[in-house]
Amino acid sequence: MDIIIKIVAIGLITCLATLFVKPVRSDFAIFIAIAGGLVILFLILGYVSEIFDVFKNIIAATGVSSQLYKILIKIIGIGYLVEFAIGICNDTGNSSLGDKILLGGKIVVMVMALPIVTNILQIIIGLLPS
């Protein structure tokens, strides 16, 4: 509960700071927005690692290969990072650049997910009666 108050406060302070600075120097407003987003992200990341620890324990209990779990975690990380970068691009008015980052993220996720797909295919082939 403590953390959400912090996040909301930092978001509002960032909003007000950009509001004050924008009429004087519009180029600084973007930097303030980026810094505010980064600070909020830093606050959250500790909790994300906690969630991953719990996931790790669950995966270890089920006996699924940890290789697949690692790929999944990496894909989640790529998703968060790409979303953050796209937000910055949209804020600065380069929405087409954001789309390209999105495309890059999609392609990278697809490439990383290929081992899982081949794994599933192998399992299905193994199940089929020869």
Partner 1 sequence: MGVEVIIKIAAIGLLTAIIGQILKQTGREEISTIASLAGLILVIIMVLNLIGELFATFNNLFKF
Q: Which residues bind partner 1 (CB under 8 A)?
A: 9-10, 13-14, 17-18, 20-21, 24-25, 27-29, 31-32, 34-36, 38-39, 41-42, 45, 48-49, 52, 70, 73-74, 76-77, 81
**Least distance in angstroms from the C-beta of 114 to partner 1:** 18
Which residue, 32 or 89, is less far from partner 1 as judged by CB? 32
- What is the rounded distance in angstroms from the CA atom of residue 3 to the CA atom of residue 9? 10
Phi and psi torsions of 39, nearest 5°: -65, -45
- What is the rounded distance in angstroms from the CA atom of residue 2 to the CA atom of residue 116? 38
Which residue, 76 or 113, is less far from partner 1 as judged by CB? 76
Which residue, 70 or 122, is less far from partner 1 as judged by CB? 70
Q: SS3 of 25, please?
A: coil
**Least distance in angstroms from the C-beta of 78 to partner 1:** 8
- What is the rounded distance in angstroms from the CA atom of residue 71 to the CA atom of residue 113? 7
Which residue, 23 or 126, is less far from partner 1 as judged by CB? 23
128 φ/ψ sector (left φ>0, alpha ψ -120 to 50, else beta) = beta
